[in-house]
Chains A and B, each alone.
Chain A
């Protein structure tokens, strides 16, 4: 499964974590989104991708941005192991080339969908911020195992993991 860390995530490390920036800050909560765009290997999503209604080059398009049909972004709290949906206790992988610290969030649920959202067909999940569709920052994303096409009564479940190496 292809994954990507977008520029803003790197910038949070350099500016917010290292430099305590007051302008490059984390959002009040993380928002999980679904995108029609594949992560790919450079030709689809790119480190400098942005949300856009028109997919062109490296832009990212969100499902339901024309017709929601029950789609909305889901919250993940900016906390560790509290009562709600948030991040789990992180663990460390000491492997030289691929290791790092990783954390997995509680599972989020989308829907129930009332029909086919437009656009439909999720090929990736994206950690973002804000609640306006096709807007906000991109932090990281991963390919879905299959293209998910939604219909009346369907739900989707995503459990994101971040590994910082």
Chain B
């Protein structure tokens, strides 16, 4: 079942799992319509009877957000570097870069280099634009959203 990285107009991102593009577009259109009419996206809330009176927090509500882009993956994009397995050459390059950046007269700050090693398996990346993917994994394709406006 494919995974869809939904990038909303404000830059919010979620990952959703749908059976097909048709199912995806049905959900996205319903959400987008709410956004265009200023409706909330909040699900139905049923009061909890199992919480102590002092433990009941405020039930949140939020507006729906227009959908900007949707990227499609064959697997969850968070599955990058499963089992912490990363490309050896890329890791060597990252370590070398970290050593060069933190080197001090023949010494190196070991935790800084260790962070570079840890980050090599991080499935997330910094985004240049709020409408970019947040994942390192390359998407398979981008979903055509023209039907959302029809």
**Of B23, B48, B127, B135, which contacts A147 at CB under 8 A?**
B48
Tell me if B88 is interfacial: C-beta within 8 Å of chain A: no
B64 to chain A, nearest CB (A): 7
Look across to chain A and name the residue whose beta carbon is closest to the beta carbon of B20.
Answer: A114
Tell me if B131 is interfacial: C-beta within 8 Å of chain A: no
**Of B41, B48, B50, B79, which contacts A131 at CB under 8 A?**
B79
Docked-complex contact A112 and B6, CB < 8 angstroms? yes
Taking CB atoms, residues of chain B closer than 8 Å to A121 are 46
Taking CB atoms, residues of chain A closer than 8 Å to B104 are none
Docked-complex contact B14 and A114, CB < 8 angstroms? no
Taking CB atoms, residues of chain B closer than 8 Å to A111 are 14, 16, 27, 31, 41
Docked-complex contact A108 and B43, CB < 8 angstroms? no
Look across to chain B and name the residue whose beta carbon is closest to the beta carbon of A28.
Answer: B121
Enumerate B1-47 residues with CB–CB distance to A below 8 Å.
1, 3, 6, 8, 12-19, 23-24, 26-28, 30-31, 33-34, 41-47
Taking CB atoms, residues of chain A closer than 8 Å to B90 are none
Taking CB atoms, residues of chain A closer than 8 Å to B76 are 72-73, 131
Residues of A within 8 A of B (CB): 1-2, 25, 28-29, 31, 38, 40, 64, 68-75, 77-79, 82-86, 108-115, 121, 123, 131, 143-157
Residues of B within 8 A of A (CB): 1, 3, 6, 8, 12-19, 23-24, 26-28, 30-31, 33-34, 41-48, 50-51, 55-60, 62, 64, 75-76, 78-82, 84, 118-119, 121-127, 134-135
